[in-house]
Structure 1
Amino acid sequence: MKKLSPKSQRIIILIDLISNGSQRKFSREVGCSHSVIAKIANGQQEAGKEILSRIAAITSVNQKWLETGFGEPLLFQPSEERFLIPISNALLPGLPSRHKALHTTQNLALPASIYQPTRYAIEAINCFQGEPMPAVILPQDLLIIETAITHWRSNLQVLEQKYAVILTHSAAGKLLKLELLTVKHKADELPLIYSVGNENPDQNLQDKNEKLRRRIELENRPSHQSKSRNQNQTENSYSEDLLIPIDVKQIAGTVIQLIRNY
């Protein structure tokens, strides 16, 4: 699979939000053949002006976001029917319907365009366990988290630069953390997902050994590299050392929307 362009990645996000990951259903919304949407989603072709114009014409789509990536993917329609999703006290390890004990007594009303029964909301302050909160997120912001992983398996690019609920293991058991993901690509290989964040002191021995192996690799790069490049590697070694391979099965949810002043 080729690396997708930013516009193609945004189209995949719309497929997820509007058609619950169904390319065939989305193609019907757009008014084009399923094969065209499939090729765009697989990186085999770019969306032309005609396709982009048809997608922008969908009532709930934010045209500015489709073109530039700024703003929210979908427009909230005041007249739209709304559905309730639970607000949770903590990050959930799976579907909200299976973890009702962790819900608060409150619910959040969502427009039909972004409602899915596999989604829940949580205040940002409950997501970062003793770690610094990103500057772009405020403590009282509500994060809407999608827990269905079916679509992620076939479209890993959807996870690029997304905050995700990561399930890790330690001596104390399973831990849930919200971390920023980046998708790295290698030639002729499938994309590799990495979790980029602060080191977790409770990580198990296997994780620590993996970090040590990576550090040794960085320290033993070929000596013929230029001095300036070695200096850059030294400066970046800390962040490179924190790149941890993440299996899609370890992702328990991704943030698909941030709501402020709810």
Structure 2
Amino acid sequence: MARRKTGKLQLSVSAQKVAELVESTSAGNQRGFARLVGCAQPVISRILNGKQQPGRDLLERIAKLENVNRDELIATLEAQEAIDRVTKTLVPVACALLDSHPRKRIDQLTSNKVAVSPAIFRSSLYTVHARVCEPAFSNPSEQMRADDLIVIETSIERLRTNLQALNGKLCVVVTKSLSGQTITLRRVWMSHDDSSNTWT
């Protein structure tokens, strides 16, 4: 069984396991548990609220706690990843977040991938393989580079304000219109006229 219900929430097996460990090791104190495993309290809160999945890095840290079975804990993650590969598309997230999110830090993320719902994923624009992470671009001359990071941002305007940091990076842009939500994959290049603050 992939997911369990906690009250009105439906948590994945790995998230449910984290919830149980928060209760058993820290008497339900999220802040105390976060300190034990070396992450920010909001991460634990999002996991327990079903808004974020615990990633391998976090589970490896949790596995170091006393009386925690590492193999069993990691198995819950691998089971969920197998389900996500079938039902969702795993898109890699950049290792550096944009200035438009100054309060966020990469160490607050528990996974380097985000699962994108089929409702907003358009395979005709790009495809990201769960393991290889090699997008198939609509432009056949474009190729994934070894040092590529993929940045996910919800606003083209925010991308424009971060051009210097994003020059040459791949960006997954989520846009909303009357026809719904669309995801596109584009490589950002600064204009020769830096003052124009444009991107292509």
Bin of the TM-score, shorter chain as denominator length: 0.3 to 0.5
Give the alignment's TM-score, normalised by structure 2: 0.32
Larger radius of gyration: 1
Greater relative contact order (Cα 8 A, min sep 6): structure 1 or 2? Answer: 1
